[in-house]
Structure 1
Amino acid sequence: MNATRQRYEAKILRVQLLIQHHLDEDLSLEHLAAAADYSPCHFHRIFRGIVGESADDYVRRLRMERAAQSLRYRRRSVLDIALDAGYGSHEAFTRAFVRTFGVTPSDYQSLEHPPASIKETLMSTVNYTAAHVRLETQPSRRLAYIRVVGKYDFENLNPAFGRILQFAAENNLMTDCTACVGVYHDDPDVTAPEKQRADVGVTVDDQFQPTGEIQVQTIPSGKCAVLRHQGHYDTLHEAYRWFFSVWLPDSGHEPGDFPAYEIYVNDASQLPPDQWLTDICVPLAE
């Protein structure tokens, strides 16, 4: 990637992170353009050119996808979720939701996710029970990461993991305490594959500063449900579906505000795929 394009993409990523962390606030075109240090007219074209959708559409989509996840996993009223999504009334939210998902929020909330037939299949084919889930207080982790947009699969994510691990090795960031981590912001059953956001990285100390495509974020400490998965990373999706469709609704817990993340327990380059270990961490509401 040439330096000019890298600079453009870094500015747009800065705006995407601003949107991600402030979805409940004013995200006008002028505000976002100022964050990127572009005039509004140029920002509009640059954002669309790099992201593939306008900034307004991007904000609306993230709010609507968050609303869908709230309807699915949290015990909240449709009106409260509508207000969080930036709509002033139940009716306006319902119209927008139907345009996006093809059903009303109330109907979506009452649907089984996944349907009972799939849930039964998961319970019979995924070898997990409630006993496999650990409730733990996870420490805060500072993460140097690369943002990847695209389908959550090994083929798409592995090159970024390779780059961040090579960078860490070349810059003497690897220690006995370093963990390889992936943060997954979207639900693959809601967000289109080409728009799914992942942050793949390694833990670093407070001295590390972002550089180039490598950004920094902090995974907050807090109570998590942790499920250890064994097998190829491309089989993780079924583990997630069991976690969210079978365990979570029966657990008495609700997911927290931070997205699910994965800690890669062993070195995949040194082991066959059937021995790869991954801890899926789902932050829980306190």
Structure 2
Amino acid sequence: MKKNRLKTLSLVLSSSSFLATGLSLAGPSRDYQQLPAIGKVEIKEVEPFVYCSLSRTGSFADIEAAVGELLQQMQAQNVFPMGSMIGIYHGDPTLSDPEQIQWEVGFPVNDQSLVQAPLQKKQWTFTTVAVGLHEGPYEKTGETILGLRQWLEDNGYVQNGPILERYLDADPAATSPDRLKTEIWLPCRKV
């Protein structure tokens, strides 16, 4: 991983609000509906993928430190990202004790990557996801997630996995907060 990439990604997380969705978690079949607050929602079939992550339990205030450690460990282990940075949120912060929330930060990686502790190599196995695009500050992604959850309920789906956020901007530090793009995936199934 190049030093500039490490610096850029560290800048991405200079605010403890990055990835802080504290308000809520998280192919052939395509259902669309326009939502006033979040725009288009699409049900997609996605391929499973391998990712490298650093897992944490507790406050989102630790995100900046976790991302710094993730980037340092990936560089030291010669593990190279194969896509956008991701955040994965297990459980529901709106219903859970914030100190018990489990979350991860990571990157998709080659399935042949050799990953050592404290990093973990995992596989995303949820293939049916509701996808929405959040455009704006990272600390407001919770609003989009709530909108996606409402869309699921209104359209006969239930969430059946953790929330995944993909951070799409190549250089978030150089992007106006109101133009930041975060793709949100909610694993789901039709009821």
Q: Tell me, yes or no, whether TM beats 0.5.
A: yes
Please list every run of 5 or more consecutive structure 1 residues that lacks an aligned counterpart in the other structure: 1-122
Matches within 5 A, 1:98-247: 127-129=37-39, 132-152=40-60, 155-174=61-80, 177-244=82-149, 246-247=150-151
* Identity rate, percent: 25
Counterpart amino acid of residue 185 in structure 2: C
TM-score (norm 1): 0.49
1:276 aligns with 2:160: no
| SS across alignment from 1:266 | coil
The higher radius of gyration belongs to 1
More strand by share: 2
2: CA distance, partners of 1:195 / 1:239: 23
Aligned partners of 2:87 and 2:103 also within 8 Å: yes
Aligned partners of 1:141 and 1:221 also within 8 Å: no
2: CA distance, partners of 1:209 / 1:169: 12
Aligned partners of 2:38 and 2:133 also within 8 Å: no
Give CA deviations for 1:119-155 in whole Å, capped at 9, x if unaligned: xxxx9xx7225xx111111221211111122234xx4
Task: Give the root-mean-square deviation of aligned CA atoms.
Answer: 2.2
CA 1:151–1:251 in 2, change beyond 3 Å: closer, same or farther?
farther
2: CA distance, partners of 1:224 / 1:274: 25
TM-score (norm 2): 0.72
2: CA distance, partners of 1:269 / 1:201: 18
Please list every run of 5 or more consecutive structure 2 residues that lacks an aligned counterpart in the other structure: 1-34
| SS across alignment from 1:284 | strand
Aligned partners of 1:146 and 1:200 also within 8 Å: yes
Indicate the structure whose relative CO is greater, using CA pairs within 8 Å and at least 6 residues apart. 2
| SS across alignment from 1:201 | strand
| SS across alignment from 2:63 | helix
More helix by share: 1
